Amino acid sequence: MERKEVRARIEEIGIIPGVRVSSPELALFAAESVNQAGIPIAEITMTVPGAIDVIAQLARNDAEFIVGAGTVLDAETARRCLDAGARFLTSPGLVPEVVEFALKNDVVIIPGSLTPSEVIAAWKAGVDFVKIFPCAPVGGDQYIRALKVPLPQVPLIASGGVNQLTAANFIFAGATALGIGSELLPREALQKRQENWIHELARRFTAIVRDARAKMRAG
């Protein structure tokens, strides 16, 4: 799957589940659960023990599943993730060496940014999306809306504080996609292997994004 295809799929799906758990087994269960529920994408953070092996296994198991690497803080880790089968790279902040590596290797890159200066710097560097993280502490959807006024051309992904009550507002504010962690993958649901719980949450978030986009198109 080429970079433009991955970028298009992220835009289409509108949700990036963030997998930040305490074991490889939980990470695999989380990613497979959201995939079964109709969200064929997951970001495996480097804080997960054995994260790169998890990425490799997910990439082997399903060629259509878009597995990405999160919390990538250096080019060497980025290389290992890419070799394992990662289709996109993200970080909580703007890390120039990771951005440069991704662009050089033609892989989707989603750096984290917060201030307008960081967003502009990331966009001018040639990134695919800019992740606004953490969103909630700085104003949530209103902050996304404020950024989109002077920067309408920059596709923003809202991350940090996205839940069932706020998700639609982030879409209305102009977010291209939503990064969702524990609100989609509750710790208890993972620990008890309650995949039906995760499936229901995935369906809810998917419906929220779909309906919000439909309302925007309808004016």
Q: Which two tokens stand for residue 132?
A: 């606004």
Question: How far, in Å, CA of 20 to CA of 47, rounded?
Answer: 7
- As annotated, the active-site residues are 43, 131
User: Which amino acid is it at 16?
Assistant: I
Residues 6+ apart with CB under 8 A from 26: 190, 191
User: DSSP readout, 154-171?
Assistant: S-EEEESS--TTTHHHHH
Closest CA to 126 of 140, 146, 147, 105: 105
